[in-house]
Amino acid sequence: GAGVSQSPSNKVTEKGKDVELRCDPISGHTALYWYRQSLGQGLEFLIYFQGNSAPDKSGLPSDRFSAERTGGSVSTLTIQRTQQEDSAVYLCASSTQGTGDGETQYFGPGTRLLVL
């Protein structure tokens, strides 16, 4: 079956514009995660969904960042009024149940965002 897909693969935007990133998890996976990786930095956790609800929003760096998940499937990460420091690769992952005890997370290819 298909893995985790993300779109767009690359996005170039101007400072101040809003962007929307999409993630399609593996069918049947209840847990979905958003991360970002800035140049030279480790993976940074942003938000985690269990079904359609987000029990952990602690990683969102500011109120310009929001995410939603509908139908227990597709998720969108929205960044409003983008800043240059938002430039990074945004990665989505999904897992079967989200139990966290060594459960494999399957990563998408990422969206490379560049804010000019």
Partner 1 sequence: KQEVTQIPAALSVPEGENLVLNCSFTDSAIYNLQWFRQDPGKGLTSLLLIQSSQREQTSGRLNASLDKSSGRSTLYIAASQPGDSATYLCAVYGNQFYFGTGTSLTVIP
| Beta-bridge mates of residue 65 | 79
Q: Helix or strand or coil: residue 86?
A: helix
Tell me how far, at minimum, the Cβ of 107 lies from partner 1, in Å: 5
Which residue among 13, 30, 109, 112 contacts partner 1 (CB under 8 A)?
109
Near partner 1 in 36-65, by CB under 8 A:
40-48, 50, 55-56, 59
- Measured from the CB atom, is 35 or 65 closer to partner 1? 35
Q: Is 72 in the site for partner 1 (CB under 8 A)?
A: no
Answer for which of 98, 111, 113, 115 binds partner 1 (CB under 8 A) is 98
By CB under 8 A, is residue 25 in contact with partner 1?
Answer: no
**47 near 79, Cβ under 8 Å?**
no
Q: What is the DSSP letter of 103?
A: P
Q: What is the dihedral of CA 115, 15, 83, 36, to 10 degrees?
A: -30
